[in-house]
Chains A and B, each alone.
Chain A
Amino acid sequence: QVQLIQSGAEVKKPGSSVKVSCKSSGGAFSSYAISWIRQAPGQGLEWMGRVIPILDESVYAQKFQGKITISADRSTATAYLELTSLRSEDTALFYCASGESLDSWGQGTLVTVSS
């Protein structure tokens, strides 16, 4: 059973960037996709994109292209989500999840953008 542990909450200034991590254990990290999912306050789940570590390939939902970078470090079994040019509207809870079926989820990381 894959377990995903995410980094802690972040508070950022507008215009800055943030990088959230998702460390995997209990599975063959390189072989399955890691997706990132956004949940803005009071809103639904949005699939942002995914990385397949063994292919070093990332795919992004059209809405988030140019805004995010998803990457993975196979040596530490850790996936990353970087968001740039942060605005208050980027305040959200971000989840990572494994596999095409989103079988396992991280606990979520709250990113707050505030001046």
Chain B
Amino acid sequence: SYELTQPSSVSVSPGQTARITCSGDVLAKKYARWFQQKPGQVPVMVIYKDSERPSGIPERFSGSSSGTTVTLTISGAQVEDEADYYCYSAADNDWMFGGGTKLTVL
């Protein structure tokens, strides 16, 4: 079965650019999505189809893909962006999340 690998934590200062990677063989053939989860809240999709941003998501969130790695970039990270971020992909009957990355903005 496939796996998606993320760093466990990323830390940036407010206004800096945060980059969170997600790696896995499935990403070479299937799109990735990114979910943001703040404490006590339901996850929210911030990127779909590797780089598309849903309506209502700030422009500072962007996504990119290269081979078997996708990257979520938060340009000019804000304190309110502090959250857990999960990549997700669906391959045939094997749908999966990455382990999650805790983003600290301070």
Contact = CB atoms under 8 A, between A and B. Distances in A.
Nearest to A105: B42
Contacts of B15: none
Interface in A59-115: 59, 61-62, 95, 100-103, 105-108
Given A44-B84, A102-B33, A35 B95 contact: yes
Contacts of B33: 101-102
A46 to B, nearest CB: 7
A62 B48 contact: no
Interface range on chain B (Cβ under 8 Å from partner): 20 to 34
Interface residues of A, number: 19
A4 B48 CA distance: 20
Given A44-B100, A101-B48, A50 B95 contact: yes
Nearest to B84: A44
Contacts of B84: 44
Interface of A: 35, 37, 44-47, 50, 59, 61-62, 95, 100-103, 105-108
